Amino acid sequence: MEELATLGGGCFWCTEAVFLEIEGVLKVVPGYSGGHVKNPSYQQVVKGAMGHAEVVQVTFDPDVITYREILEVFFHFLL
């Protein structure tokens, strides 16, 4: 069984890199959330004018790592 966590924490490349090293994480997909422009470019988002946040969607095995542990990694290492 798989579960998902979608997390917004600034640069999704850094967030993705951290979670890819965690046992029990099966997949990490970077993307954007919110904003007022459909399918913005990376350059538009990093300028901050589009209202989007960089996010990652983490697919994980809850038998190996819990949602709480996912959040602990996020808040300890990434914020």
pLDDT tens readout for residues 7-28: 987 777 788 999 999 999 999 9
C-alpha distances in Å from residue 5, one per residue of 22, 44, 62, 63, 67 = 14, 25, 11, 15, 7
pLDDT classification of 78: cutoffs 50, 70, 90: low
From the list 19, 79, 78, 10, the residue with the least C-alpha distance to 46 is: 10
Prediction pTM value: 0.84
Q: What φ, ψ does residue 38 adopt, rounded to 5°?
A: -75, 130
Whole-number pLDDT of residue 79: 59
The pLDDT value given to residue 5: 97
Let me know if 11 is a catalytic residue. Answer: yes
Pairing of strands 3-8, 25-34: unpaired
Domains, the chain, ranges and CATH?
Answer: 3-78 (3.30.1060.10)
Cα dist. 47→9, 42, 44, 51, 53 in Å? 16, 9, 5, 10, 11
Q: Which among 4, 6, 10, 11 is annotated as catalytic?
A: 11
* pLDDT tens, residue by residue, 13-71: 788 999 999 999 999 999 888 888 888 888 888 777 788 888 899 999 999 999 999 99
